Structure 1
Amino acid sequence: MERIVHLIFTLESGGSENMLIDIANEQASMADVTIILINKKYSMDLVARINQNVHFYSLHRKEGDKKSLSFLVRLWGLLLKIRPTVIHCHNQNIIGLLPIWRKRTVLTIHCLKAVTTHLKKYRKVYSISNAVSNDIRARVGIRSPVVLNGINFADIFPKMDYGFETSMPVRIVQVGRMIHETKGQHILLKALHKLIVTEKRDNIYLDLIGSGPSLPYLQSLAKSLKLNGHVSFLGERSREWIYERLSSYHILIQPSLSEGFGLTVLEGIAAGLPVIASDHAGPAEILSGMPGGYLFRSGDEDDLAGTIRKVIAAMQEGKMQQRCEASHELAVGRYSIHRTAFEYLHHYSRLNRVTS
Structure 2
Amino acid sequence: MLGPIAVCVGAFPTTTETFVVRELMALRQRGWDVRLVIQHSNSPNQSGLFHESIDGVTFPTIALPVRQSPMAPLRFVTNRRLRLAANVGRYGRRLAIRRTGYFGSLLSEPLIAECRLIHCHFVQWGLEVGEGLSGLLNVPLTVIAHDGHLKQYSVDELRSLQATTSRIFCVSNAWKEYWQQATEQSDGLCLLRNGVDIPTDLARPFSRSQSPIRLLTVGSLSELKQTALVVDAMSELVSRGHSVQLEVIGDGPCRDALQQQVRRLALEDCVRLRGALSHTLVLERMLASDIFVHASERESFGLVVAEAMAAGLPVVCSDTDGPREIVAPGITGWLFPIGEATTLAARILQLIEFPQQAAEMGRQGRERVRAQFNWDSRIDNLHNQLYELTHPASLKT
Structures share fold, TM-score greater than 0.5: yes
Paired position in structure 2 for 1:349: 387
Change in CA separation of 1:94 and 1:59 when aligned onto 2, cut-off 3 Å: same
Contact 1:111-1:261 within 8 A present in 2 as well: no
Deviation at 1:252, TM superposition (A): 0.8
Deviation at 1:82, TM superposition (A): 6.9
The separation in 2 between residues aligned to 1:340 and 1:84, in whole angstroms, is 23
Paired position in structure 2 for 1:148: 193
Secondary structure of the corresponding residue to residue 354 of structure 2: helix
Give the aligned residue type for 1:75: L
Question: Out of 192, 198, 204, which is 2:234 matched to?
Answer: 192
The separation in 2 between residues aligned to 1:95 and 1:175, in whole angstroms, is 31
Unpaired runs of 5+ residues, structure 1, are: none
Deviation at 1:32, TM superposition (A): 1.8
Paired position in structure 2 for 1:30: 30
Paired position in structure 2 for 1:84: 115
The separation in 2 between residues aligned to 1:81 and 1:37, in whole angstroms, is 8
Contact 1:157-1:246 within 8 A present in 2 as well: no
Paired position in structure 2 for 1:110: 146
Contact 2:106-2:113 within 8 A present in 1 as well: no
Q: TM-score, length-normalised on structure 2?
A: 0.78
Give the aligned residue type for 1:173: L
Secondary structure of the corresponding residue to residue 335 of structure 2: strand
The separation in 2 between residues aligned to 1:136 and 1:163, in whole angstroms, is 40
Change in CA separation of 1:204 and 1:289 when aligned onto 2, cut-off 3 Å: closer
Q: TM-score, length-normalised on structure 1?
A: 0.87
Paired position in structure 2 for 1:158: 202
Give the aligned residue type for 2:147: C
The separation in 2 between residues aligned to 1:80 and 1:29, in whole angstroms, is 20
Contact 1:102-1:123 within 8 A present in 2 as well: no
Residue 127 of structure 2 corresponds to residue 95 of structure 1: no
Give the aligned residue type for 2:231: L
Unpaired runs of 5+ residues, structure 2, are: 45-51, 73-100
Paired position in structure 2 for 1:300: 340
Quote the RMSD (CA, aligned, Å).
2.7
Paired position in structure 2 for 1:67: 70
Q: Which has the higher contact order (CA 8 A, sep 6+)?
A: 1
Most deviating of 219-228 and 280-289: 219-228
Paired position in structure 2 for 1:132: 175
Deviations along 1:27-69, one digit per CA (max 9) or x if unpaired, are: 223232314142233258xx654562xx512323357413266
Contact 1:206-1:231 within 8 A present in 2 as well: yes
Deviation at 1:170, TM superposition (A): 0.9
Contact 1:250-1:274 within 8 A present in 2 as well: yes
Change in CA separation of 1:105 and 1:50 when aligned onto 2, cut-off 3 Å: farther
Residue 278 of structure 2 corresponds to residue 243 of structure 1: no
Deviations along 1:212-244, one digit per CA (max 9) or x if unpaired, are: 111112222222223221111111111111112
Q: 1:37-56 alignment to 2 at 5 Å?
A: 37-42=37-42, 49=54, 52=57, 56=59
Q: How many residues align?
A: 344
The separation in 2 between residues aligned to 1:125 and 1:111, in whole angstroms, is 12
Secondary structure of the corresponding residue to residue 236 of structure 2: helix
Paired position in structure 1 for 2:365: 327
Quick one: percent identity of the two aligned structures? 21
Paired position in structure 2 for 1:119: 161
Secondary structure of the corresponding residue to residue 253 of structure 2: coil
The separation in 2 between residues aligned to 1:11 and 1:87, in whole angstroms, is 17
Give the aligned residue type for 1:140: T
Most deviating of 74-83 and 138-147: 74-83
Report the structure number with the largest CA radius of gyration. Answer: 2
Change in CA separation of 1:38 and 1:13 when aligned onto 2, cut-off 3 Å: closer
The separation in 1 between residues aligned to 2:312 and 2:217, in whole angstroms, is 15
Secondary structure of the corresponding residue to residue 133 of structure 1: helix
